[in-house]
Amino acid sequence: MSTDQALQAKGKSGGPYTKQEQEQRRAKVYELHFEKGHSAVQIAQMLDVNRNTISSDIKYWYSQMASQINGKNVVGMVLKHIDRLELQRKRLLDEVEKQTEFSSKVTLEKMILEIDNKIAGLASKMIGKDLSIDEYEITEDISEDELTTIVRHSIFSNDHLYPESASEDDILLDTLSMKKCDIQYAKNVLNTMKKLGLELCENSRGADTNYDLFKFALMRGYITKDELKAYFKKRQDEEIQEEKRQKEIEEKYEKKYGKDTGEWPDDVEDMMEEELFSGSMEHRYGL
């Protein structure tokens, strides 16, 4: 009889359980709650076990974790327990590499960030107070060689169209995508960049703070002026080609249906918009 079958054979009465059965049930509760993210109610239904019993098991695991940490090593504990969501993170990271649509890629990367935020939330429950990793000083700087690789990737990989207006989230997501790291490492990258002068390259627009990665990379010697000139020449050529392509599509529809779009059949304008978008910047950059 499997562990699940043995648990379900007990029914929702909640016991009594032998010591071995209790250990088996708690191990299953740990897997379902901490690794797979199911609630106590869901686990109770899945295992056909009393909800109060499941809640007690979850509290048991919190108390076990709490006994291992104190206020001085909370961040270390958060990072240590990241493995309980590692399977989910790895699956998402693998999926990110397969995506060709920009919106799908961003959605998956945001899910990765959410998983890491869950870990911080778990630690806050263990120590009984609100916890944010940002409250703790990050002391591990990233090497200049490592930053060179990351910043050049952000500029030349075309993950975003305009590196001269990169947000902090852009930098974090680029690092997560490239290095397949955890959020703590990505924040170390961002903080190290700030220590090396990123904030001098601030390029704010509206309410959000953006940074000019070109200016930062030139300042630190991560790219050369010739590379930057070649980059802008290529981007200008591609923008000219894109404008030409869109104009040709518009002229094609005007020739067939006339210049007055108000006289076009209802679905024709949608067809043109779809064709215009199919070869847009997002498509050409493989986003």
The residue among 97, 118, 135 that closes a domain is 135
Q: Are residues 162 and 206 part of one domain?
A: yes
Least confident of 16-20, 114-118, 221-225, 239-243: 114-118
Contacts of 12 (CB under 8 A, 6+ apart): 44, 48, 49, 50
Q: 189: burial class by Cβ within 10 Å (0-12, 13-18, 19+)?
A: buried
pLDDT tens track for 208-236: 688 999 999 999 999 999 998 998 898 88
Instruction: Look at residue 224 in the predicted model and tell me its pLDDT.
Output: 92
Q: Are residues 209 and 155 part of one domain?
A: yes
pLDDT confidence band for 151 (50 / 70 / 90): very high
- CATH number for the domain harbouring residue 168: 1.10.10
Instruction: Look at residue 221 in the predicted model and tell me its pLDDT.
Output: 93
The DSSP code for 47 is H
User: How many whole angstroms separate alpha carbon 34 and alpha carbon 32?
Assistant: 6
Hey, is 208 helix, strand or coil? strand
Q: In which domain, by residue range, is 81 found?
A: 74-135
What is the arithmetic mean of pLDDT over 61-74? 62
The residue among 185, 220, 255 that closes a domain is 220
